[in-house]
Amino acid sequence: MPRPKNQVRRNLLKTIGAGALATTLAGCAPMVASSTKYERAYSRKPWVAPRISMDNVIRSIVGHRPYRPSGFVVRSEQYDDKTVVHNYGHGGGGISLSWGSSALAVRETLGMQPGEVAVIGSGIMGLTSARLLQDAGWKVSIYTRNVARHTTSNVAAGEWGPFSVHDPDVSSAAFKSQLNWAARVAHHAFTNLGGADYGIRWLEGYFMRDTPLDSSEEDGEFADLYPYSAILGPGEHPFASPYARRIVTMQFDPGTLLRRLVEDFQIADGRFVIRNFADRDDVLSLTEPVIFNCTGLGAAKLFDDNELTPAKGQLVFLPPDPAIDYMTFGGGQGQLYMFPRSDVLLLGGTFKLGDYSTHVEDDETARIVSEHQKFFSDFGES
């Protein structure tokens, strides 16, 4: 979990040695290189490189994406007099799919008389399911071990992109159709909430490529949801990679988004109950006749889902940099990304399947920082 900056530095010195650390910290002076040579497609600001330095790391955090190769689960089950509606397993696309997947889940209650309903979990799936149930006339109680700010959703990087959700070689055609529907409903819902109140804004995103892939190969069925999309070749962008795929999409500040959804839920007479569930029988002991299972990774234990596995991610936070108004993906070793959120400048990333460990890995922090430093070291040069 998060560690003080000085402790991170001491651990790095022990872990990777002074020689490696010298490489990691190279270029600690603020990186403010800029370029007016390359045209911006959406923003009217000049290109500026982010200021990335180990000296400026606020903290590193770990989260676990609830991943299923065959895709997320939305279905209902009957247990005697209880109906359980499942809505979990969204991998790295939880926020992106939230309203759409939750709409699919709430659709499972069609034909029922609205009454009392329990939602298990207060992450993005639990909150959006609860809000849609309230809109449909249900009286909702959210049962949760952690308040929203301590959920996996609050550790999310925060960019609309319904990817890292399934293995296309494993998932069925029926699931892919369901994914398409959920993604489009969620996208529409978020465009209705756009603005600072919900922590949503539109930004350019650049995916680094060594080869000139066609944009339709990358975006597939979601291509129409990305305005300003293009493949940029050498001399058309300021990045070190030969090619960059440009999109414009929504970026989220998860903390702001979750706080606002909590407020909306409470204004609509929603109730929070802090409770941890030991097993399925414990869940079924609730008095509500309808229960929504939005427990993410918790569903593996509570409902015996052996396919569900964690995908560990590690994020590095630096102070916010208001000069940066674009996102980057790739461009170095590992699955790198940089997001300029309003609360932090966020660097990632990792995607370690099957890794349940919750500790921050100092060598991962060093890699993420140093790779981003190298990526932006010649920013703007031809």
Tokens representing residue 203 in the block: 């930004």
Domain ranges of the chain: 5-65+311-332+341-376, 69-191+253-307
C-alpha distances in angstroms, 163 versus 67, 93, 160, 179? 11, 6, 9, 10
pLDDT at 11: 38
DSSP letter at 236 equals S
Sign of CA dihedral 116, 268, 103, 159: negative
DSSP letter at 288 equals -
Tens digits of per-residue pLDDT, 296-323? 999 999 999 999 999 999 999 999 999 9
Tens digits of per-residue pLDDT, 142-174? 999 976 555 655 567 789 999 899 999 999 999
Pairing of strands 200-209, 337-340: unpaired
Contact 206, 239 (CB under 8 A): yes
pLDDT at 262: 96
The residue among 35, 32, 61 whose CA lies nearest residue 321 is 32
Contact 330, 241 (CB under 8 A): yes
pLDDT at 214: 62
Query: Which CATH architecture fits 69-191+253-307?
Result: 3-Layer(aba) Sandwich (3.40)
Element (DSSP H or E) covering residue 327: strand 326-329
- Residues in Cβ contact with 17 at an 8 Å cutoff, skipping those fewer than 6 apart: none
pLDDT at 15: 35
pLDDT at 316: 96
- Residues in Cβ contact with 184 at an 8 Å cutoff, skipping those fewer than 6 apart: 100, 225
pLDDT-flagged residues of the chain (< 70): 1-36, 147-155, 213-220, 381-382
> Rounded distance, CA 14 to CA 328, Å?
31
pLDDT at 97: 98
DSSP, collapsed to helix, strand or coil, labels residue 168 as coil
The residue among 174, 359, 354, 2 whose CA lies nearest residue 182 is 174
pLDDT at 153: 57
Residue 176, amino acid: K
pLDDT at 157: 74
